[in-house]
Amino acid sequence: MSLTFAELLKNSSLLGRGFYARPAVDVARDCLGKILVHGKTAGRIVETEAYLGVHDRAAHAWRGLTDRTRVLFGPPGHAYVYFIYGMYECLNFVAEEEGQAGCVLIRALEPVAGIASMRRRRPKASRLEDLASGPGKLTLAMGITRKQNGADLTRGPLQVRRERDQRSLEILVTPRIGITHCADWPLRFVIAGNRFASRG
DNA sequence: CAATAGATCATCT
DNA sequence: GATGATCTATTGC
C-alpha cells in the first residue's frame, strides 16, 4: 500500500498542537493509524507506548528535569529523540501541557511512501514487514536522529498527518516492552493483528 | 521455533 | 562504573 507524496499530502492534514496537549495515554492511542512524515519518507503508526512522566519509574522523566529530559518538560507537539544501547535512537512525541513530562514512544510503522530510501537506509531488512517494525528500526529507516530532538512536529520536515478517510481501528492494549520498572502497566497500544508491529 | 551474546556510548551514580 | 524504552546473528532444540 504505497503512495506518492503528492497523493499522501492531498489525502491528509497536518495535526496541530491540540492533538498533543492531552494525557499521554490518549495521545498514544490516537496516534495509531496516523502518518509519520520525515523528509520524503512516510509510514503509518501501528504501535505506540505511553510514558507518564515523573510518576512513571520506567520513564526517562522519572528523575526530573535534566539536560536530557528538558524537551520532555517543554511544550507538547515536539519530538524527543534519545540514544540507547550505544547504537540506536528512539522517537517520542512530547504530550501534555508544558511542565508535564508525558510522552509517546513510536514503536513501529507500516511503510507508506519513500520506501526505496527506507530500504537503502536498512539494507539488512529483507521483508517490508521488517523495515520499521521496532523503535530503533523506524528511526533508521526514516533518517531520524538526535538532530531532530526538540523539533516542532506541527511545522517542519518532521510531522504527523491524519488521513481524510481514516477507518476505525481495533486496538490491542498490552504491557510495555523492554522495561524493568512498572513492567505490568497496560500502556502499549497496537493495531490488532497488524503485521508491521514489533514482535514484542 | 527460542534463547542468548555482542555491539557500543550517553547518561547518571 | 553500571545501566539501558534495541537489533542482529548465532547457537541449540
Give residue-wise pLDDT tens across range A11-45: 999 999 999 999 999 999 999 999 999 999 999 99
A44 CA from B8 C1′ (Å): 30
**pLDDT tens digits, residue range A179-191?**
999 999 999 999 9
Confirm whether A49 is domain-assigned: yes
Confirm whether A197 is domain-assigned: no
Confirm whether A82 is domain-assigned: yes
Confirm whether A16 is domain-assigned: yes
A17 CA from C5 C1′ (Å): 24
List of residues 6+ apart from A173 with CB closer than 8 A: A186, A187, A188, A189
DSSP state of A32: T
Q: Which nucleotide is nearest to A101 (CA to C1')?
A: C5
Residue A159 belongs to a domain with what CATH number?
Answer: 3.10.300.10
Confirm whether A134 is domain-assigned: yes
Range of the domain at A19: 5-191
A66 CA from B4 C1′ (Å): 34
Confirm whether A113 is domain-assigned: yes
For chain A, what is the domain count? 1
**pLDDT tens digits, residue range A108-147?**
999 999 999 999 999 999 899 999 999 999 999 999 999 9
Q: Is the pLDDT of residue A1 over 70?
A: no
Q: Which nucleotide is nearest to A178 (CA to C1')?
A: C5
- Residue that the C-alpha cell 526505496 belongs to: A116
pLDDT at position A4, please? 87
Closest residue by Cα to the C1' atom of nucleotide B8?
A86
Confirm whether A177 is domain-assigned: yes
| Short-list A55, A26, A29, A28, CA closest to A181 | A55
Confirm whether A45 is domain-assigned: yes
| Residue A115, all three cell numbers | 520506501
Residues facing A110 on adjacent strands? A44
